[in-house]
Amino acid sequence: MPQVLRVALDTPLRRLFDYLPPASTEAGEFPAIGARVRVPFGRQRLIGVVLSTGDDSEVPPGKLKPILEVLDPKPVLDRAALELLTWAAQYYQHPIGEVIAGALPRALRFGAPAREVEERWLATDAGAMASAAGEPRRAPRQRALLSLLLESGGATAAALDEQLGSWREAARALLKRGLIASAEIETASPVSPEPRLRAAGPALLPEQSEAVKAVMSGFGRFVAYVLHGVTGSGKTEVYLRLIGHLLEQGKRALVLVPEIGLTPQLLERFRERFDAPMAVLHSALTDAERLAAWRDAYSGRARVVLGTRSVVFAPVPHLGLIVVDEEHDASFKQHEGGFHYSARDLAVMRARHAAVPVVLGSATPALETLHNVAAGRYAHLPLPRRAGEAQPPRLALLDLRTSAVRQGLSTPAVLAIERHLAGDGQVLVFLNRRGYAPTLLCTACGWIAPCRDCDARLTVHLAAGRLRCHHCGADAPLPERCPQCGFAVKPVGQGTERIEETLASLFPGVSIARLDRDVVRRRGDLEDVVRRMATGEAHILVGTQMITKGHDFPNVTLVVVLNADQGLFSTDFRAPERLAQTIVQVAGRAGRGAKPGEVLIQTEFPEHPLLASLLAEGYEGFARAALKERSQAAWPPFSRLAAVRDSAPTPEAALGFLTDARGLARRPPRGVRLLGPVPAAMAKRAGRYHAQLLIESPERSRLHAFLDAWLPEVEQLRSARRVRWSLDVDPIELF
């Protein structure tokens, strides 16, 4: 029997911790690899996961402590999961203990059972004797509870709720006297009903059939497929077909979507098609909901496990297929906390470990993904036309320099809206800026409301009567007069709130809906807006990025993009890619039904080569041009990047730390370049100064070899200063 167990604990230390097996191993208590254990850690007791075993330890034998308790009879993380997490910790250079902790729902990190349990209450022998003696005399509720437990031979908490109403207080009193006892019993293994197909779905188009056949030929082994289909080309139908076949084979599917907002619709389509339990995991769940969904996935009850980013870590026994919908979406990259992983890339890695196919679906695949196709690593499954009768929308640019513009809307745009409304079409108006106006200006002295803590202006939120910073969350009342000179102030520029107001005055009597983060605050808000559009109650929808995602409004015939120019000139080499994706995605909302769609893009730079290639040749043409540019500049995917970012109370400290970190590299190995450090484009955010150091290499292995050696040294630096830093491997946003 192995002498030592190596345990991953939720600490920032990049190592495992050695423990002895628990004192009583005879009772089958020897923990499995991947099981949770409770261990002593300094003065604390922590819950960790056993990652491996060994025969010796670097810790002297006298100092090794035994595990206190084994929490799981079976692993909560199976071998494939542990391999994936270990790989991720290594690849993203993050402490393994934190990576593993992050893969488990909070309730499990705090010791909740991995399987569903029932709280059961029983009378003890002492209780039986007391009851026979007519006790407890002066407490009728306690007496009732006790006799009920005796008569029924024990009852679940749910049954007691039903039969007695409030009984907890009585139970506490009886428990104290040892007359009753409670236990958490694993519920009988939840029965998983055989999945059934509710509906057959439409006859597939030839391209859809091809795609389904191709992926099915990959069942049982790893292949990455790129399902590249314009919006409305029937990608979801392909997922449904594939999952249908899988379910018949008793397998399960894992489906990733970029946003919580997209889960209800997709789930709805799955439910229409399949009668099978599904588990949904996303960030808006309560701990209890998340635990319940995780358990459904873990026990195998759920046949489809669907969710955002972190669902890539969900347990899925008998996994047969992974789908990543809208694979290009930046939301798949985790930005918060220290563990910056790409759920899309991990999904591909998971599929590889699990020997199952993965389908990456998008109308606008990421340039990296298209590069992987070109290099023969991913198989390309194109769906070049729309399913059903829908025609591709017509795109046109509106030159803002040559037409009259009122409150952000050019005359041709207004006329087009009028025309489409008259033709009974619905209209989407896209502007990537929420609030009323991005600037509050004093017309007398030129004062502009600044954020105290950021290099940014405060956004006017007129309806709320507030000035808000969209970077740090600062929030202040909207002043009526200039705090500097006392003269009147006025909002300058457009946000969605103001566009809504402008449209309301231009089109009186037309019902207008808005969709942005200010409107969608509570559960159900989004569904409400979607419903108003779907039922035709609202005729115009104004919104941010949120309207570009997934919603299918068949009656929308016109999409107006108010300002394409923010993405054209940016320090981030990925900005053009994101702009092209946004335009194509939002354009895809037009003409999804029988009526043809029209897309108008307002710009001050109609001759910009990016816009030109996008309009003339579509996303594919744009992607070719953009990849050529990346290749010439040796940006990813033609090189590998990692970014070290930091923040500090002063600009000097932020730059100083990264300068010292760079100094530690003395002479970087051949093929590895360090670029910077430089202050971030918006250096001051939330009162701290941000800076960035880039590490670039043509080869991933060299980049990683360098990071492996260098990071532990950088970590040593940190202890002396008030600097926060993090590493981002394959960053997708450069600040």
Options 183-191, 286-294, 446-454, 591-599: segment touching Zn ion (CB under 5 A): 446-454
Q: What is d(CA 541, CA 705) in angstroms, rounded to the nearest whole number?
A: 50
User: What is the nearest approach in angstroms of ligand ADP to the Cβ of residue 260?
Assistant: 18
Please say which residue, 40 or 264, places its beta carbon nearer to ligand ADP: 264
122, 125, 126, 127: CA torsion to nearest 10: 40
Q: What is d(CA 695, CA 673) in angstroms, rounded to the nearest whole number?
A: 6
Reduced to 3 states (helix: H, G, I; strand: E, B; else coil), residue 592 is coil
Q: What is d(CA 202, CA 234) in angstroms, rounded to the nearest whole number?
A: 10
Q: Is the dihedral of CA 161, 165, 169, 172 positive or negative?
A: negative
Residue 485 binding Zn ion, by CB under 5 A: yes
User: What is the nearest approach in angstroms of ligand ADP to the Cβ of residue 550?
Assistant: 8
Choose the one of ligand ADP, Zn ion, none that binds residue 451, judging by a C-beta under 5 to 8 angstroms depending on kind.
Zn ion
Q: What would the x/- binding string for ligand ADP be over residues 610 to 649, using CB under 6 A? A: ----------------------------------------
Choose the one of Zn ion, ligand ADP, none that binds residue 71, judging by a C-beta under 5 to 8 angstroms depending on kind.
none
Contact with ligand ADP (CB under 6 A) among 34, 48, 113, 229: 229
Contact with ligand ADP (CB under 6 A) among 237, 296, 577, 696: 237
Residue 327 binding ligand ADP, by CB under 6 A: no
Per-residue buried b or exposed e for 61-100, using 16+ beta carbons within 10 Å of the residue's own CB = eeeeeebbebbbeebbbbebbbbbbbbbbebbbbbbbbbb
Choose the one of Zn ion, ligand ADP, none that binds residue 482, judging by a C-beta under 5 to 8 angstroms depending on kind.
Zn ion
Q: What is d(CA 324, CA 358) in angstroms, rounded to the nearest whole number?
A: 8
Angle (deg, nearest 10), helices 125-132 and 140-152? 120
Contact with ligand ADP (CB under 6 A) among 93, 142, 236, 342: 236
Phi and psi for 379 in degrees, rounded to 5? -90, 140
User: What is the nearest approach in angstroms of ligand ADP to the Cβ of residue 416?
Assistant: 24
Choose the one of ligand ADP, Zn ion, none that binds residue 387, judging by a C-beta under 5 to 8 angstroms depending on kind.
ligand ADP
Tokens standing for residue 211: 């795609």
Residue with tokens 């940006």, as numbered in its chain: 635
Please say which residue, 235 or 457, places its beta carbon nearer to ligand ADP: 235
Residue with tokens 């991005």, as numbered in its chain: 438
User: What is the nearest approach in angstroms of ligand ADP to the Cβ of residue 653?
Assistant: 48
Please say which residue, 379 or 440, places its beta carbon nearer to Zn ion: 440
Contact with Zn ion (CB under 5 A) among 321, 395, 413, 469: 469
Choose the one of Zn ion, ligand ADP, none that binds residue 314, judging by a C-beta under 5 to 8 angstroms depending on kind.
none
Residue 329 binding ligand ADP, by CB under 6 A: no
Q: What would the x/- binding string for ligand ADP be over residues 187 to 226, using CB under 6 A? A: ---------------xxxx--x------------------
Residue 231 binding ligand ADP, by CB under 6 A: yes
Question: What distance lies between CA 537 and its chain's CA centroid?
Answer: 31
Reduced to 3 states (helix: H, G, I; strand: E, B; else coil), residue 347 is helix
Q: Which residues contact 343 (CB under 8 A, 6 or more apart)?
A: 256, 308, 309, 310, 311, 312, 324, 332, 333, 334
Residue 234 binding ligand ADP, by CB under 6 A: yes
Options 84-92, 213-221, 229-237, 365-373: segment touching ligand ADP (CB under 6 A): 229-237
Contact with ligand ADP (CB under 6 A) among 48, 97, 218, 232: 232
Options 247-255, 398-406, 484-492, 620-628: segment touching Zn ion (CB under 5 A): 484-492
- Asked if the peptide bond before residue 277 counts as cis, ω within 30 degrees of 0, the response is no
SS (H, E, C) 481-503: ECCCCCCEEEEECCCHHHHHHHH
Choose the one of Zn ion, ligand ADP, none that binds residue 237, judging by a C-beta under 5 to 8 angstroms depending on kind.
ligand ADP
Q: Are strands 673-685 and 688-697 parallel, antiparallel or unpaired?
A: antiparallel
Q: Tell which residue, 655, 665, 661, has the closest CA to residue 688.
A: 655
Residue 340 binding ligand ADP, by CB under 6 A: no
Q: What would the x/- binding string for Zn ion be over residues 181 to 210, using CB under 5 A? A: ------------------------------
Q: Do 343 and 309 touch, CB atoms closer than 8 A? A: yes
Residue 388 binding ligand ADP, by CB under 6 A: yes
Contact with ligand ADP (CB under 6 A) among 85, 349, 387, 428: 387
Choose the one of Zn ion, ligand ADP, none that binds residue 150, judging by a C-beta under 5 to 8 angstroms depending on kind.
none
Cα radius of gyration rounded to whole Å, the chain = 30
Q: Do 410 and 403 touch, CB atoms closer than 8 A? A: yes
Please say which residue, 352 or 688, places its beta carbon nearer to Zn ion: 688
Contact with Zn ion (CB under 5 A) among 454, 460, 529, 533: 454
Options 198-206, 323-331, 452-460, 664-672: segment touching Zn ion (CB under 5 A): 452-460
Options 111-119, 144-152, 453-461, 720-728: segment touching Zn ion (CB under 5 A): 453-461
Please say which residue, 262 or 279, places its beta carbon nearer to ligand ADP: 262
Contact with Zn ion (CB under 5 A) among 143, 252, 282, 471: 471
Q: What is the DSSP string of 10-46?
A: SSSSSS-EEEBPPS--TTTTPPPTT-EEEEEETTEEE
Q: Tell which residue, 238, 307, 257, has the closest CA to residue 279.
A: 307
Reduced to 3 states (helix: H, G, I; strand: E, B; else coil), residue 116 is coil
> What single-letter amino acid sits at 533?
M
User: What is the nearest approach in angstroms of ligand ADP to the Cβ of residue 233?
Assistant: 4
Residue ranges of E strands in 289-399: 304-307, 319-325, 358-362, 379-383, 394-399
Please say which residue, 388 or 450, places its beta carbon nearer to ligand ADP: 388
User: What is the nearest approach in angstroms of ligand ADP to the Cβ of residue 230?
Assistant: 7
Residue 734 binding Zn ion, by CB under 5 A: no
Contact with Zn ion (CB under 5 A) among 16, 112, 291, 451: 451
Q: Do 567 and 605 touch, CB atoms closer than 8 A? A: no
User: What is the nearest approach in angstroms of Zn ion to the Cβ of residue 686?
Assistant: 6
Phi and psi for 461 in degrees, rounded to 5? -115, 95
- Site residues (vs ligand ADP, CB under 6 A): 202-205, 208, 229, 231-237, 387-388
- Site residues (vs Zn ion, CB under 5 A): 442, 444-445, 447, 451, 453-454, 469, 471-472, 474, 482, 484-485, 487
